[in-house]
Amino acid sequence: MTDKKYPLLFLLPYLGRYRLKIALGSLMVVLTVIASMFSPWVLKYVVDGLKQDISRDKLPNYAALILGISVVEGFFRFWMRRILIGVSRLVEYDLRNDFLAHVQKMSLSFLQSRSTGDIMSRATNDLNAVRSVLGPGIMYSMNTIALVIISTTILLNLNWQLTLMAYVPLALVSLTVKKLGNQIHDRFESIQEQFSNLSTKAQENISGIRVVKAFAREQSEMDEFGRLNTEYIRRNISLILLWGIFYPLMTALIGMSSVALLWYGGRQVIQGRLTLGEFVAFMGYLAMLTWPTIAVGWVINIFQRGAASMGRILEVMHARPEIRDEEGAAAPEPVQGALEIRGLTFQYPNATGPALRGVSLSAPAGTTLAIVGHTGSGKSTLVNLIPRLFDPPPGTVFVDGKDIRQWPVSELRRNIGHVPQETFLFSDTIRENISFGSRSGMTDTEVEQAAQASQIAEDIETFSNKMQTYVGERGITLSGGQKQRVAISRAVATLPKILIFDDSLSNVDTYTEEKILEQLTRIMRDRTTILVSHRISTVRNAHQIVVLKDGAIVERGTHDSLMELQGAYADLYRKQLLEEELATT
Amino acid sequence: MAADIHEDQVLGKAYDARLMRRLLAYIRPYRGSAYLAILCLLAGSAFSVVQPYLTKVAIDRYIRENNMHGLSQVAVLYALTLVLVFGLSFGQTWLINLMGQKIMRDLRMELFRHLQVMDVAFFDKNPVGRLMTRVTTDVDALNELFTSGVISVFEDLFMLSGIIISLFLLNYKLALAIFAILPFLVLATLMFKIRVRDSYRNVRTAIARINAFLQENITGAAVVQLFGREQKQYQRFALINKDHLDANLQSIFYYAIFYPILEVISASAIALIVWYGGLQVLAGALTLGTLVAFIQYSDRFFRPISDISEKYTILQSAMAASERIFKLLDTKPAIVSPEAPRAAEVKNGSIEFRNVHFHYNPGEPVLRDISFRVAPGEKVAVVGATGAGKSTIIALLNRFYDVQQGEILVDGVNIKDFELQGLRRSIGIVLQDVFLFSGSVSENIRLGNPDIDDARVQHAAETVHAARFIGKLDQQFASKVGERGSSLSVGQKQLLAFARALAFDPRILVLDEATSSIDTETELLIRDALEKLLAGRTSIIIAHRLSTVQNADRIIVLHRGRIRETGTHQELLHLRGIYWKLYQLQYKDQPDSVPQFAHAPAAQSSIVNRQS
């Protein structure tokens, strides 16, 4: 629960890794501040000296001293920045790696329950806000604290009445920053909100432009947009008002401490209680304090935002992966690939009804099982449960006689080659995509063989960089069929014991399909294969065909026995013949 | 997409006279405010430049002369300048920002208005995201130019000139000595800028790669998990992440070294003042107060210089943004209302397609030599396989696109001679994918048309059976439908679209039926609603429902962009051609029709059975 209340505490172990650096960086902060204290003091000697007609030989020494001090101070400041801001980047690096590692462990149902953009913004914007706490946030806090303590001590020793007078406006500055800062933040939020209304309107209008035009609603759309636009600037104006006050007020308040110094300090000089040099040094110290006092409010904001962002990051990082190895999970040796499903009923979280009802089937090792049915009949759900993309109820799905929930997840998946319904390739070379599942890397021959199996090898030959051709944004755009074939090669490349083709030939023409199937029979011979398809041509040679309807098996048998049955399968077959005829008309 | 991202990120010149002139035109309506703001700026800078001089006066004339009274006067004067500067800079910020906001409003409005008149083909070519960027992000980049860019460059310049003048007036020799340091400052800043720009670019590239990687691995999480690639993907991510880290550490290094160098340079100015100025004080050529004032001036001197270089980036991105905005504004719509329309609205509602040829992309014809007539009040169904060109007919009739050959006549008038809005207003459209705006139910029926009062909305909803489900919503007609109607079912959306079309009461109705399966009850409601909607109107329907094709006066069979068969349901079935096949594939399995058509399906199934 600490991560709800003090999310930033979660960063401590990360910072702990760099404690030496942080200690060194803090030392640099103190040294920087101490070094900076000398310059005004030198000025004091210069001014007092000039008043008493010091010898002209001393002046070059003072000048050199001022320069020397700034070099020393600059040296410390360089290391302060380099070390402390550097640490913030190191922690950011660690945190981002850990974030990805955690997201990778999360199950599909978690990832599907939130948008990609949502997770992305936590890894980028929120992480950035947290980084600001670690870098500028911590550095400026330390700097301000050290500066205030040390300079106040010096000033109090110099003249405590004057110090108090000059500090009153400075305290007001910090308070104003905090107070106005909050209000500015609130108004800013309200502007953002209106901005998002405005954007939504524009987005909606542009996406729905055909409807707008069809109903000739352009004018009313413009009126509506104009109304939102005016409200947007009205809110902006309320911020401008504050903004217009903020910085000028800041300058004025800081100026007031100069006035106090001028008036009260001047009197003291006249009364002989302060030398003119001390007066000038006072001025120097005050100038140094200006920025840190403004920074106080700013740093507080950084911490507030950082805490909120860290909370959002922790929502992801502290979510428990749902699919994980159970205690004592072990894979049988050697793996055969026999699949058995007993009375499987499955319902997605938040769904109103089950996606699968009482499914039972058995595919002995090395046989081919085909699943056909309409869209939404539960085919993909069924095959997604086998590699545990979602967890089936215990005691329903078995591989080699062992409940898959008793298998180590990684072992189970390693033995399954899956060609998902929606082909997803990574923007990388074709070779990388094909050897994606290999843990130890693959030889060129192995990659080549996998490419042959899906008939993609010929296509690859025509690409200018062959196997090294990039897929996607940075390279060649593959056709739907080519993508599917690369995905098939990727699945067969590791020679898994179970192969799943989830409607994987839908974008390939029938001629190529035949050739792929021919090639695959060789590979499929000693592997259990599950074919999900709409097409009869794909499934007709399977050892076993099941027809799914509304999540339940309604027919099962071989192609011939199902045709004889004259049921759903036979109907599907007839329709496909018609479709083919139509395509050639 | 890659090309678009590129286009949006290109940074060109920081100053382009042609663009600037056009931008300045937007200021013209508010030039009063602009002049006043510059006046505030001038006065404000002058008063703040006076402050160190007041310090000098206090020291030389009063503190050293032990004049308490005079000292108080100077302090009061100093306080007065603070108040004046406060007031003036408030005025300036207020005026400038107000102006900036108004200009942004005007520009945004102009862009939006322009988008409303652009033709549909334009929207096909330009993704929503890109157009959104123009209206939002690009306009904001310009805002920054007007508010913090141009004006604060002025401010910095005023300040600098004020300080330079003061320094020369106080003591020109010392002033010259200080200026000797300037070249070092400029050099250091330039070198820093170049380095930082490079490392900033590396950071940007790295962050773009991190984002792309994350995006890909979150969307492809299933594949990563299925192939047990977590470890390897992690290692690759760590590498990209490391690049980002290195680029950042590099830029930290530059910043860490730049600030101390600035300080050393400014310290050397002070050292010069102490040395050279000190000598002059000893020689009696300079007062102590002047020396102190010099130190204060030199502090203020360095700020505006490093500020100005910051503004360069703002200018650059603003110029790029305005270039893109103007390019969009200069794109002329391909389809506009004729200057002297021959007709303003549809009267009797006859439609004729005469030898229409159409393609979206040259070399890929979608419709070929399409000719057909629809008499006023007639109902025509268009059927065909996916990609046959059915939806294109609707888009052409509505003049979303212009035909390349042939002509389309409504009421015997070529639609190109129609007043564009009038034509569209007379043609009601119900698309397959019902588009709902985020607003209330009644707003979605009325679509901003003031002629449609509540009673008419109510009536339309009741007629098409939408009133029933609307009544069950928590706020009835005032209920919000959520973004894209996410809170409604497909069938409900369909009924709402019917209500919308009915409320507008068009002469001609074109309809692309929804394909998605809905529950039987809603299906029956939709059928009945459809019948009421079509009554007395000329209609073209892309039919996905058995009841609709059977009910049509005529069916046009479109195959690969050509009309292949025409006739009634029965006639076409007897042909045993394309329609027959389509019927077997698409319509046969649908639930039985409503009672009044009960005889029809029975007759057909007997035909089919006999044949098979």
Asked if omega into A408 is within 30° of 0 (cis), the reply is no
Residue among A203, A232, A387 whose CB faces B132 most closely: A203
Confidence grade of residue B3 (pLDDT, cut at 50, 70, 90): very low
- The SS3 call for residue A266 is helix
Of chain B, the end-to-end C-alpha distance in Å amounts to: 51
Q: Considering only CB atoms, which chain A residues are within 8 Å of B294?
A: none
As given in the structure block, the two tokens for residue B299 are 């502090």
Distance in angstroms (rounded) separating the CA atoms of residues B109 and B114 = 8
Asked if A423 contacts A436 with a C-beta cutoff of 8 angstroms, the reply is: no
pLDDT recorded at residue B4: 37
Could you give the number of structural domains in chain A?
2
- Bridge-based pairing of strands B405-410 and B413-414 is antiparallel
Residue A65: CA count within 13 A, CB half-sphere: 17
Average pLDDT estimate for A414-436? 84
Is some CB atom of chain B closer than 8 A to the CB atom of A97? yes
- What's the alpha-carbon Rg for chain B, to the nearest Å? 37
Nearest alpha carbon to residue A335 among A552, A495, A108: A495
pLDDT over 70 (residue B39):
yes
Is some CB atom of chain A closer than 8 A to the CB atom of B230? yes
As given in the structure block, the two tokens for residue B483 are 């973004």
Please report how the helices B68-117 and B288-330 are oriented relative to each other, as an axis angle in degrees rounded to 10.
10
Nearest alpha carbon to residue A409 among B217, B232, B225, B223: B225
> Residue type at B527?
R
Residue among B131, B216, B559 whose CB faces A585 most closely: B559
Residue among B233, B249, B449 whose CB faces A89 most closely: B249
Q: How far is A544 from chain B (nearest CA, A)?
A: 25
pLDDT over 90 (residue B368):
no
Taking CA–CA distances from A220, the nearest residue in chain B reads B448
The number of beta carbons lying within 10 Å of the beta carbon of residue B98 is: 20
Chain segment A200-244, per-residue pLDDT in tens: 788 777 877 777 777 777 788 888 888 988 898 888 888 888 878
Residue indicated by tokens 């939006």: B112
Q: How far is B316 from chain A (nearest CA, A)?
A: 24
User: Residue B28, class by beta-carbon neighbours within 10 Å (0-12 exposed, 13-18 middle, 19+ buried)?
Assistant: exposed
Chain segment B225-246, per-residue pLDDT in tens: 888 788 888 888 899 899 989 9
Distance in angstroms (rounded) separating the CA atoms of residues B484 and B434 = 9
Residue among B223, B263, B422 whose CB faces A424 most closely: B223
Distance in angstroms (rounded) separating the CA atoms of residues A452 and A488 = 10
Question: Cβ neighbours of residue B328 under 8 Å, at least 6 residues apart?
Answer: B111, B114, B131, B134
Residue among A204, A259, A426 whose CB faces B220 most closely: A426
Is B282 in Cβ contact with A50 (below 8 Å)?
yes
Indicate the residue among A158, A181, A207 that finishes a domain.
A158
Confidence grade of residue B11 (pLDDT, cut at 50, 70, 90): very low
pLDDT recorded at residue B451: 76
Question: Cβ neighbours of residue B77 under 8 Å, at least 6 residues apart?
Answer: B54
Q: How far is B105 from chain A (nearest CA, A)?
A: 6
**CATH code assigned at A13:** 1.20.1560.10
Distance in angstroms (rounded) separating the CA atoms of residues B333 and A203 = 20
Indicate the residue among A158, A175, A193 that finishes a domain.
A158
Residue indicated by tokens 């008002």: A241
Q: Percent of chain A scored above 70 by pLDDT?
A: 97
Distance in angstroms (rounded) separating the CA atoms of residues B565 and B580 = 11
Of chain A, the end-to-end C-alpha distance in Å amounts to: 68
Residue among B74, B115, B221 whose CB faces A108 most closely: B221
pLDDT recorded at residue B482: 61
Q: Which of A18, A31, A46 is the mutation pick for testing B, counting most B CBs within 10 A?
A: A46
- Backbone CA torsion sign across B461, B466, B468, B474: negative
Is some CB atom of chain A closer than 8 A to the CB atom of B581? yes
Residue among B54, B218, B437 whose CB faces A111 most closely: B218
Distance in angstroms (rounded) separating the CA atoms of residues B376 and B508 = 9
Q: What is the CATH number of domain B9-171+313-334?
A: 1.20.1560.10
Confidence grade of residue B34 (pLDDT, cut at 50, 70, 90): confident
Is A240 in Cβ contact with B101 (below 8 Å)?
yes
The number of beta carbons lying within 10 Å of the beta carbon of residue A7 is: 21
pLDDT recorded at residue B7: 42
pLDDT recorded at residue A575: 78
Distance in angstroms (rounded) separating the CA atoms of residues B275 and A330 = 83
Tell me, yes or no, whether A281 lies in a domain.
Answer: no
Nearest alpha carbon to residue A106 among B230, B209, B233, B235: B230
The number of beta carbons lying within 10 Å of the beta carbon of residue A581 is: 11
> Residue type at B251?
S
Please name the residue ranges forming H helices in B118-144.
120-125, 128-133, 139-144
Tell me, yes or no, whether A308 lies in a domain.
Answer: no
Chain segment A533-576, per-residue pLDDT in tens: 877 777 888 889 998 888 888 888 888 888 888 888 888 888 77
Asked if B127 contacts B13 with a C-beta cutoff of 8 angstroms, the reply is: no
Phi-psi map region of A566: left, alpha, beta (phi>0 left; psi -120 to 50 alpha): left
Distance in angstroms (rounded) separating the CA atoms of residues B325 and B19 = 11
ipTM score here? 0.80
pLDDT recorded at residue A462: 82
Average pLDDT estimate for B467-489? 69
Q: Phi first, then psi: give them for residue B351, nearest 5 degrees.
A: -125, 140
What is the domain extent for residue A349? 339-584
Strands annotated E in A503-551: 528-532, 544-549
Asked if A416 contacts A386 with a C-beta cutoff of 8 angstroms, the reply is: yes
Distance in angstroms (rounded) separating the CA atoms of residues A419 and A341 = 20
Is some CB atom of chain B closer than 8 A to the CB atom of A563? no
Please report how the helices A138-158 and A276-317 are oriented relative to each other, as an axis angle in degrees rounded to 10.
160
Indicate the residue among A141, A158, A175 that finishes a domain.
A158
Chain segment A339-383, per-residue pLDDT in tens: 888 888 888 876 677 888 888 898 888 888 989 887 778 888 888
Residue among B211, B229, B271 whose CB faces A437 most closely: B229
Residues 182-201 of B with CB under 8 A from A: none
Dihedral (C-alpha) A276, A282, A283, A286: value to the nearest 10 degrees? -170
Average pLDDT estimate for B13-25? 77
Dihedral (C-alpha) A507, A510, A513, A515: value to the nearest 10 degrees? -150
- Bridge-based pairing of strands A544-549 and A368-373 is parallel
> Is pLDDT larger for residue B285 or for residue B588?
B285
Please name the residue ranges forming H helices in B134-181.
139-144, 151-170, 172-179
Distance in angstroms (rounded) separating the CA atoms of residues B509 and B517 = 23
| Domain ranges, ordered by start, for chain B | 9-171+313-334, 172-285, 351-607
pLDDT recorded at residue A197: 81
Confidence grade of residue A185 (pLDDT, cut at 50, 70, 90): confident
Tell me, yes or no, whether A27 lies in a domain.
Answer: yes
Q: Considering only CB atoms, which chain A residues are within 8 Å of B211?
A: 120, 124
Q: How far is A260 from chain B (nearest CA, A)?
A: 8
Question: Cβ neighbours of residue B517 under 8 Å, at least 6 residues apart?
Answer: none
Nearest alpha carbon to residue B397 among B388, B387, B407: B407
| Longest pairwise C-alpha distance within chain A | 121
Is A89 in Cβ contact with B245 (below 8 Å)?
yes
As given in the structure block, the two tokens for residue A559 are 């192609």
pLDDT recorded at residue A505: 76
Is B421 in Cβ contact with A124 (below 8 Å)?
no
pLDDT recorded at residue B599: 37
Average pLDDT estimate for B119-129? 78
Q: What is the CATH number of domain B351-607?
A: 3.40.50.300
As given in the structure block, the two tokens for residue A374 are 């309409």
Distance in angstroms (rounded) separating the CA atoms of residues A255 and A171 = 13
> Residue type at A460?
I
The mean pLDDT of chain A is 84
Residue among A46, A221, A420 whose CB faces B274 most closely: A46
From edge to edge, which strands make up the β-sheet containing A356-363? Answer: A356-363, A339-346, A397-399, A402-403
Q: Considering only CB atoms, which chain B residues are within 8 Å of A387?
A: 226
Chain segment A426-458, per-residue pLDDT in tens: 888 888 888 888 777 788 888 888 888 888 888
Tell me, yes or no, whether A221 lies in a domain.
Answer: no
Tell me, yes or no, whether A175 lies in a domain.
Answer: no
**CATH code assigned at A441:** 3.40.50.300
> Residue type at B113?
R
Please name the residue ranges forming H helices in B273-287.
278-283
Distance in angstroms (rounded) separating the CA atoms of residues A535 and A546 = 13
Chain segment B491-539, per-residue pLDDT in tens: 777 778 888 888 878 888 888 876 555 566 666 777 777 777 777 888 8
Question: Cβ neighbours of residue A467 under 8 Å, at least 6 residues apart?
Answer: A429, A430, A431, A434, A444, A447, A451, A460
Is some CB atom of chain A closer than 8 A to the CB atom of B137? no
Tell me, yes or no, whether A233 lies in a domain.
Answer: no
Residues 353-382 of A with CB under 8 A from B: none
Residues 410-439 of B with CB under 8 A from A: 421-422, 424-425, 427, 429, 431, 435, 437-438
pLDDT over 70 (residue B59):
yes
Q: What is the DSSP letter of A208?
A: T
Q: How far is B45 from chain A (nearest CA, A)?
A: 12
Distance in angstroms (rounded) separating the CA atoms of residues B548 and B430 = 14
Chain segment B209-225, per-residue pLDDT in tens: 888 888 888 878 878 88
Asked if A27 contacts A83 with a C-beta cutoff of 8 angstroms, the reply is: no
pLDDT recorded at residue B602: 35
> Residue type at B434?
V
State how far Cα B70 lies from the chain centre: 61
Q: How many CB pairs under 8 A join A and B?
A: 373
The secondary structure element, H or E, covering residue B457 is helix B454-463
Q: Percent of chain A scored above 90 by pLDDT?
A: 12
Q: Which of B254, B437, B564, B575 is the mutation pick for testing A, counting most A CBs within 10 A?
A: B437
Tell me, yes or no, whether A167 lies in a domain.
Answer: no
Asked if A328 contacts A405 with a C-beta cutoff of 8 angstroms, the reply is: no
Tell me, yes or no, whether A382 lies in a domain.
Answer: yes
Q: Please, what is the Cα angle at B214 between B208 and B220, to 5 degrees?
A: 135
Q: Percent of chain B scored above 70 by pLDDT?
A: 86
Chain segment A84-116, per-residue pLDDT in tens: 999 999 999 999 999 988 888 887 777 777 767
pLDDT recorded at residue A30: 94
- The SS3 call for residue B352 is strand
Q: Considering only CB atoms, which chain A residues are within 8 Å of B108?
A: 198, 229
Confidence grade of residue B15 (pLDDT, cut at 50, 70, 90): low
> Residue type at A277?
G
pLDDT over 50 (residue B433):
yes
Q: Considering only CB atoms, which chain B residues are within 8 Å of A574?
A: 584, 612
Confidence grade of residue B600 (pLDDT, cut at 50, 70, 90): very low
Distance in angstroms (rounded) separating the CA atoms of residues A453 and A448 = 9
